[in-house]
Structure 1
Amino acid sequence: MHIHQLFDLKGKVALVTGGGRGLGEQIAKALAEAGADVVVCSRKLDNCQQIATELEEMGVRSLALECDVTKQEDINRTVAEVIEQFGAIDILVNNSGATWGAPVVDMPLEAWNKVMDVNVTGTFLMSQAAGRHMIERGYGKIINIASSAGLRADPPEGLNAIGYSTSKAAVIHFTKDLARKWARHGIYVNAIAPGFFATKMTKALLEKRGDAIAARIPLGKIGDETMLKGAAVYLSSPASDFVTGQILSVDGGSTL
């Protein structure tokens, strides 16, 4: 197979959660550039509709759906609608995420639960729903968005968000465990662990301490809107057909 074919996603259908902004938007556009039809979903439908319009202008089919990944009925409806309108789900990107910064002793239980519900339970529920369809077809690529925060323990002055880091560590093990269980069904399960990227979620922190954060990263820079695209396409495409259960760090070397 030619190298261009290995990274070609024409004829594939991708579902990207949290696809209306930030890393989800970047991933959705990368998959579209590689030829995939892309459905984007999140709680904020307006954001997704704007991205879906931009994706269609790139020459692929797209659809925006409202979906709260903490609600099983929303997930089941979303998966069913994608299959009805596009015929299949070949690629699932579990990108929806939440965070909450607070010292451990001040972390409200409701904040902890929210982060866990979105980042861990949401990833499980969406994988479960799409996975049933993928098992029937004998094929699927699932990409979970973890974080470098799930691979290391930060000092409080670095990242004081224990619920977020714990949830992303859970996503990392979930990825490995699910990959082991579903390999026999032709389903690949991998994760990307981004480091610091310039997004709405990190904007306030980077405005205050961006230079100091970049200085601690071996490559000396913060991730931009192009730096996640290659990893997303690789794990979605035939190029990664002998790769499963792996965590690809895209973090400028910050977890070394």
Structure 2
Amino acid sequence: MGVDPTALITSIMNGYITETASLEEMLYVKGKVAIVTGGASGLGFCIAQRLLQGGASVVLASSSTEKGKTALELLKRAGYEKVSYIQTDVRREDEVKGMVEFAVKTYGSLDILVTSGGVWGFAHVYDMPEEEFRRVVDVNLVGSFLCAKHASKYMIEHDIKGKIVLISSNSAFLSQPVFGGYAHYVASKGGVVAMTQELAKELKRFGICVNTVAPGGMMTPGNFYNGPCQKLPPEKLKEIGEEMTVNQMDEIPSADSVAIVAYGMCTRMSDGMNGECIVADSGMMRNIVKHQPAIREYPAKKEA
């Protein structure tokens, strides 16, 4: 008995229609529970707001109680009710485990994890104190690992097809600033990119998607208090401070422009993506600019 090609094609096409979820289901996160580390400020705060807009209940996690209370107050004042805060040092496994337990106790589940908490500073590798390197790697990389560990453990045990979005940086691919000073940060964020692929492979059989979003420079409060490493001697602080002023950006994207991408990775719109790194830097990494500033020499040559 021969196969009717028209009937087969019709059956396949009809399957596309009947099995297609509504756009509302694809675009929104209604009824989901999310944790956003670093959610009390900057990019994390913007991601949390977008998740709240999408209908999720959100737990803001941050090491700063003061920032957490301020963020919570701002979001409540804006009309968001299903949002809470818990103080969490992502370097401490007991606190990360407690963070997950808090989300489950408060909202009944955990469907989404976004690791936006991060620290940085500037110091050349030949001047950088070892403790500064370890501090940045511990928060940015080890902290992401611990959060993914305990979030995925809960999701697996409760058969939740969750979304884990790790925040990396385009600095994993693009050396910056002009004269460096970012070795610890680059190592931590490059590690996040590599770890994402491995976590995605390990967790796929449980229906958990893991991706990373890599922003570039943004306008966030962190830009105002993460400067040269304060453990450097005064002359080195002055030196790297001067070098940092040379850095020129064609534009400084808003944190929300990255938050929108991160939000999308938390929805079913990203169901076809796993282990990916989405660079959301407005073209910076590709040298896509509005205009090319003139190149000037630094430091200036001394007269003979």
SS at match of 1:92: strand
CA distance in 2 between partners of 1:225 and 1:250 (Å): 10
Gap change, CA 1:210 and 1:14, over 3 Å in 2: farther
Q: Which of 224-233 and 98-107 deviates more?
A: 224-233
SS at match of 2:284: coil
Contact 2:120/2:136 (8 A) holds in 1: yes
Instruction: Confirm or deny that 1:237 pairs with 2:257.
Output: no
CA distance in 2 between partners of 1:36 and 1:210 (Å): 40
Q: Equivalent of 1:255, from 266, 285, 290?
A: 285
Q: Which amino acid aligns with 2:284?
A: S
- Partner residue of 1:218? none
Unaligned runs of 5+ in 1: 216-220
- 4+ residue runs of structure 1 moved beyond 4 angstroms? 207-212
Contact 2:36/2:114 (8 A) holds in 1: yes
Contact 2:43/2:259 (8 A) holds in 1: no
Q: Equivalent of 1:7, from 16, 21, 27?
A: 27
Gap change, CA 1:33 and 1:159, over 3 Å in 2: farther
TM-score normalized by structure 1?
Answer: 0.91
Percent of residue pairs bearing the same amino acid type: 31
Instruction: Confirm or deny that 1:48 pairs with 2:99.
Output: no
Shift, 1:229, TM fit = 2.7
Q: Equivalent of 1:147, from 169, 176, 181?
A: 169
Shift, 1:201, TM fit = 2.3
After the TM superposition, which residues 84-99 of structure 1 pair with which residues of structure 2 at under 5 Å, given as runs? 84-99=105-120
After the TM superposition, which residues 25-36 of structure 1 pair with which residues of structure 2 at under 5 Å, given as runs? 25-36=45-56
CA distance in 2 between partners of 1:116 and 1:130 (Å): 20
Indicate the RMSD between aligned Cα atoms, in angstroms: 2.0
CA distance in 2 between partners of 1:58 and 1:238 (Å): 25
Shift, 1:210, TM fit = 8.1
- Partner residue of 1:101? 122
- Partner residue of 2:42? 22
Q: How big is each residue's C-alpha offset from its partner over 1:162-186, in whole Å with a ceiling of 9 and x where there is no partner?
A: 1001110000000111001100011
Shift, 1:19, TM fit = 0.7
SS at match of 1:124: helix
Shift, 1:211, TM fit = 9.3
Shift, 1:17, TM fit = 0.5
Shift, 1:53, TM fit = 3.1
CA distance in 2 between partners of 1:170 and 1:116 (Å): 9
Q: Equivalent of 1:81, from 102, 117, 122?
A: 102
Shift, 1:10, TM fit = 0.9
CA distance in 1 between partners of 2:30 and 2:179 (Å): 41
Contact 1:20/1:48 (8 A) holds in 2: yes
SS at match of 2:126: helix
Q: Which amino acid aligns with 2:249?
A: A
- Partner residue of 1:223? 253
CA distance in 2 between partners of 1:201 and 1:62 (Å): 22
- Partner residue of 2:151? 130
Instruction: Confirm or deny that 1:186 pairs with 2:207.
Output: yes
Shift, 1:137, TM fit = 2.5
Unaligned runs of 5+ in 2: 1-20, 228-240, 287-304
Q: How big is each residue's C-alpha offset from its partner over 1:5-56, in whole Å with a ceiling of 9 and x where there is no partner?
A: 3111110111000111111111111111111111001111221222223334
Q: Which amino acid aligns with 2:222?
A: M
- Partner residue of 1:111? 132
Shift, 1:198, TM fit = 0.8
CA distance in 1 between partners of 2:57 and 2:180 (Å): 36
Shift, 1:96, TM fit = 0.9
SS at match of 1:190: strand
CA distance in 1 between partners of 2:191 and 2:209 (Å): 18
- The aligned length equals 249
Contact 2:47/2:260 (8 A) holds in 1: no
TM-score normalized by structure 2?
Answer: 0.77
CA distance in 1 between partners of 2:109 and 2:30 (Å): 13
Contact 2:96/2:146 (8 A) holds in 1: yes
Q: Which has the larger radius of gyration?
A: 2
Instruction: Confirm or deny that 1:120 pairs with 2:147.
Output: no
- Partner residue of 2:249? 214
CA distance in 2 between partners of 1:141 and 1:58 (Å): 26
Gap change, CA 1:38 and 1:150, over 3 Å in 2: same
